[in-house]
Amino acid sequence: MPEENPIRFEVADGIATVTIDRPERKNALSWQAMEGLTDAWERTEHDPTIRVVLLTSADCGVFCAGMDLKQAAEVKAKEGVDLLSKARDPMQTRMRHLTKPVVAAMTGSLMAGGMMLTLNCDLRVGLRGTRAGITEVKVGRGSPWAVPLLWMVPQPLLMEMVLTGETMPIERFLECGLVNYLEDTPDEVRARALKLALAIVEGAPLSVKAAKASVLAAMDLGCKDGLIAAKELHAEAYASQDAVEGPRAFAEKRKPVWQGR
C-alpha cells in the first residue's frame, strides 16, 4: 500500500516547518519521503511569504536514520533497481541551493542520509546524549554528499567518519562548531530552532539572502574570489528600499518594516 504523507509541511509567521513523519521507521528516507522533501524545497523557494525553513522530524529517538534500507532491498528484489533511482533528487541538492536559510531541529540521533540533510542546513540544534555519523561503509553504500563537510569540520574528523562508519556523540560536533546548540529535550530542541528562525525572519530579506549566498559562494571560490562574489551578491541589498528603511527605523527608534525590495 502506498505510503501517505511521510513529509508534513506547515507555514506560519514566515517559517516553513518541514517534518519527516515516519517514526515507525526511525524517520528513514523512503523514496516517497525523498520526493516529499524535494516538493517541500520547491514550494519553499517559490513562496514569497516563506523566509526560513525549520527542518525536524517526529519524535522516536532518531532524527533521521538515512535511506530506508528495508525498502531499498524490497525495490531491488522486485524491480531490479536501486532505490535512489526512483527519486528525482536523491542527494537533496535542491535543498542545498535554497536561497532561504534552513534551521535543523535534530530531535534524535542521525546517520547516513540524516547527516546529509543536516549538512545541507545552515544552522543546527541537536539533542544532548544522541549520536551522529556517516555509516555508509557499513552497508556498502556511498557518501558523495559528504564532501562539503571538509569546509565545516576538521579533516581528520571527517576521515574518521567516512572511513569507519562509526557514530560519535553529538557533543563532539558541538565542540568542532558543526552544531550551534544542544538542548536537553526534543521540545527544547525545536524551541531553540524556532527562536533562531524567528531571529532570521526579523532581518531584512535581501540582506539575509545575500548573507547566505555569500558564505556558500566563498566555500566554492576561496577567499579572494569569494569576496568579489560577496560584493556582487550584496549589491541588490545595498540598492534596496530596505537599505533606507533600516537606518531610518533605527534613528526613529522603531521596528523596521521590510519590503524585500
Residues 212 and 181 in one domain: no
SS3 5: coil
Instruction: Report the share of the chain in percent with pLDDT over 70.
Output: 98
pTM over 0.85: yes
**Is 182 domain-assigned?**
yes
**Is 106 domain-assigned?**
yes
Residues 42 and 163 in one domain: yes
Range name among 62-66, 101-105, 220-224 with the lowest pLDDT average: 220-224
CA 155, CA 176: separation in Å to the nearest integer?
11
φ/ψ of 83, rounded to 5, equals -55, -40
pLDDT of residue 243: 78
Average pLDDT, the chain: 90
Residue 23 has pLDDT above 50, yes or no: yes
**Is 189 domain-assigned?**
yes
CA 42, CA 99: separation in Å to the nearest integer?
11
Other CB atoms closer than 10 Å to residue 223's CB: what's the count? 7
By the 10 Å C-beta count (0-12 exposed, 13-18 middle, 19+ buried), 261 is classed as exposed
All three cell numbers of 87: 527519486
134: Cβ contacts below 8 Å, ≥ 6 apart: 111, 112, 115, 143, 146, 161, 162, 165
Range of the domain at 94: 7-202
Residues 220 and 130 in one domain: no
| Range of 208-212, 240-244, 247-251, 257-261 with top mean pLDDT | 208-212
pLDDT of residue 43: 95
Pick from 69, 50, 82: which is nearest to 138 by CA?
A: 69
Residues 233 and 175 in one domain: no
pLDDT of residue 4: 65
**Is 122 domain-assigned?**
yes
**Is 1 domain-assigned?**
no
Summarize the confidence of residues 173-190 as an average pLDDT.
96
φ/ψ of 43, rounded to 5, equals -65, -40
For residue range 52-98, what is the model confidence (pLDDT) as tens digits? 999 999 999 999 998 888 888 887 888 888 787 777 888 888 898 99
Residues 189 and 220 in one domain: no
Residues 62 and 92 in one domain: yes
Residues 220 and 159 in one domain: no
Residues listed for the chain = 261
Q: Which CATH number characterizes residue 40's domain?
A: 3.90.226.10
pLDDT of residue 3: 58
CA 1, CA 20: separation in Å to the nearest integer?
19
Summarize the confidence of residues 29-38 as an average pLDDT.
90
pLDDT of residue 185: 96
Residues 51 and 85 in one domain: yes
Residues 117 and 21 in one domain: yes
Summarize the confidence of residues 109-114 as an average pLDDT.
92
| E strand segments, 143-189 | 168-169, 181-183
**Is 259 domain-assigned?**
no
Residue 1 has pLDDT above 60, yes or no: no
Q: How far apart are the first and last CA of the chain?
A: 47
Other CB atoms closer than 10 Å to residue 129's CB: what's the count? 12
**Is 2 domain-assigned?**
no
Q: Into how many domains does the chain fold?
A: 2
pLDDT of residue 228: 85
For residue range 232-254, what is the model confidence (pLDDT) as tens digits? 878 888 788 887 887 788 788 88
H/E stretch holding 6:
none
Residues 179 and 236 in one domain: no
Residues 43 and 119 in one domain: yes
Report the Cα 260 to chain-centroid distance in Å: 23
pLDDT of residue 111: 92
Q: Which of 202, 219, 242 is the last residue of a domain?
A: 202
**Is 258 domain-assigned?**
no
